[in-house]
A and B are shown apart, each in its own frame.
Chain A
Amino acid sequence: MTALFANEHDLTTDIDISSLKFWSQPFEVREQAFAKLRKDHPVSWHAPMEDLDHSPEDHGERGYWAVVRAEDISYVSSHHELFSSQLGFTSLHPLMSEFRAPAAFLDMDPPQHTEYRRLISAFFTPKAVTRLVDKIDLRAGQIVDDVVGAGSIDFVDRVSSRLPMLTVADLLGIPESQMEEFREHGDRLFALQDPDAADTFEERMAISASAFGFYAELGMELIADRRRKPQEDLMSHLANGTVDGKPLEETDILMIMLLFSTAGNDTTKQTTSWTVKAFAENPDQRDWLLQDFDGRIGGAIEEFVRYATPVMQFARTATQDTELGGQRILAGDKVGIFYCSGNRDERLFEAPDRFDLSRERNPHLAFGGGGVHYCLGNGVAKAQLRALFRNILTKLPNLEVGEPTPLVGDFINGIKHLPVNVG
């Protein structure tokens, strides 16, 4: 077998997109580097993403190919036989060998991926999303009602961070009594790469591990309970479901639960925060949407997610030697597909930096570049954004937005805190 991420390549550009310094800059500044790459270096070789604690000698990865044009990202994304999610998993950020574990079916290829997707498909069809909508509308209404007249608040804490985890919890079937704890632990799963979480590796590791521990314990209890008394929720379905005729292992179920708790969290949360900020900067867009909310919100949501691009990249591993963008990619090379760059690709979008809800076509890559890994929860996310913004735009008409505190990192395009005055 080809060794993973072990091939040496010469740098093909001196543009840096791997250092913590680079990722500490605002999105617009980083986008200038991606714009240069899109123009002159559509596929380029880079040093591994800089880690807070570990050097390249520690993790042993040599680097990655950055794919930055929308068309090429879609090509990589839809050719899973050439660019595998299973071989080296999908973390572009280098991982120490002790943390290299597959994130359920996110890190699988067909045919295995197909079996798992078939198992849970029923919970994400348009009809299933419709069944969730009443609960989503109710919770969105409560969340926004809670802050009406509250004056100065952190919008992330009080609004953006609430609905996504509650919706994941509703979907899984988490008991109401454990809902808040389930929600709060969601943000701690990624503490390992968050310099603000704690100063030392050991402290950040402990935060992350306690969150994993919480989900594992809750998950095991729920699996046992749902095997005794199956209900209509996703945990019952997983606890009693089969893949290839065999029941799922408990660890498999826990990994799926964790995948939903991460994939369903920051995505919608960050899109909500970025969109509130974008509306404050573009009041004309807000007025335009409110002129015909029901008729325009569908297209508007596509622009919310394009503009926010909450997940900035994922990785694939080349299964064989292949050519892309004038470069020779070798089997075992890590390939990063940068949705944040594809979503600003001037070949695909007119005035890509503009927040423009009236775009006729919006073939953005915020749910992925197409193919088998396209975001399973896209319908659930859209239902949440629709409910949240219906409430936010009507109940908080005088929202004043201050300066955001960014989340520093190469994976999630995040806002940690967003001071607002809701009046």
Chain B
Amino acid sequence: MAEQLIVVDRGRCTGLGICESIDPDRFEVEDDGSLLLHQERVAEADRALAERAVGSCPAAALTIQEGTPA
């Protein structure tokens, strides 16, 4: 069944971690600047926070898309 998923465009992500500062349970920037996604699925209860984190990315590297989890 299709779900709401966070999609990271690795080519655009610059590893600033604005997403982590908003939603640290889901996003974590590692020391080499790469982004770890702890939780791909966006549950309805977490949706507002995830949307805020996604919308705050200055590199426009994050989106929420409908899909099947990897």
Please list the residues of chain A having a beta carbon within 8 angstroms of any beta carbon in chain B: 78, 114, 117-118, 121-122, 124-127, 367-368, 370-372, 374, 376, 378-379
The reply to whether A374 and B20 contact each other, CB–CB distance below 8 Å, is no
Closest Cβ–Cβ distance, residue A121 to chain B (whole Å): 3
The reply to whether A374 and B58 contact each other, CB–CB distance below 8 Å, is yes
Contact with A along B20-33 (1 / 0, CB 8 A): 11001000111111
Most interface-central of B14, B15, B58 (chain A CB within 10 A): B58
Other-chain residue from A125, A370, A378 in contact with B20 (beta carbon distance below 8 A)? A125
* A125 and B18 in contact, given A370-B60, A372-B59 (Cβ under 8 angstroms): no
The reply to whether B59 and A126 contact each other, CB–CB distance below 8 Å, is no
The reply to whether B59 and A121 contact each other, CB–CB distance below 8 Å, is no
Q: How large is the interface on B (under 10, 10 to 19, 20 to 34, 35 or more residues)?
A: 10 to 19
Nearest CB in chain B to that of A120: its residue: B33
Q: Is B48 an interface residue (CB 8 A)?
A: no
Please list the residues of chain B having a beta carbon within 8 angstroms of any beta carbon in chain A: 14-18, 20-21, 24, 28-33, 58-60
* A372 and B17 in contact, given A118-B33, A121-B32 (Cβ under 8 angstroms): no
Cα distance, A392 to B54, chains bound together (Å): 33
Residues on A with beta carbons closer than 8 Å to the beta carbon of B33: 117-118, 121-122, 125
Residues on A with beta carbons closer than 8 Å to the beta carbon of B14: 114, 117, 372, 374
Given A125-B30, A378-B18, 5 extra CB contacts under 8 A: A125-B17, A367-B58, A370-B60, A374-B14, A374-B16
The 15 listed contacts between A and B (C-beta, < 8 Å) are: A117-B14, A118-B15, A122-B33, A124-B16, A125-B15, A125-B17, A125-B20, A125-B30, A126-B21, A126-B24, A126-B29, A372-B14, A374-B58, A374-B59, A379-B17
- Tell me whether chain B's interface is mostly helix, strand or loop, or mixed: loop
* A378 and B32 in contact, given A126-B21, A126-B24, A370-B59 (Cβ under 8 angstroms): no
* A122 and B16 in contact, given A371-B59, A372-B59, A374-B59 (Cβ under 8 angstroms): no
Other-chain residue from B31, B58, B59, B60 in contact with A125 (beta carbon distance below 8 A)? B31
Nearest CB in chain A to that of B58: its residue: A374
Closest Cβ–Cβ distance, residue A314 to chain B (whole Å): 14
Cα distance, A161 to B15, chains bound together (Å): 29
Cα distance, A113 to B39, chains bound together (Å): 29
* A117 and B15 in contact, given A370-B58, A370-B59 (Cβ under 8 angstroms): yes
The reply to whether B17 and A126 contact each other, CB–CB distance below 8 Å, is yes
Residues on B with beta carbons closer than 8 Å to the beta carbon of A122: 31-33
Residues on B with beta carbons closer than 8 Å to the beta carbon of A374: 14, 16, 58-59
Cα distance, A378 to B22, chains bound together (Å): 14
Closest Cβ–Cβ distance, residue A119 to chain B (whole Å): 9
Cα distance, A76 to B21, chains bound together (Å): 26
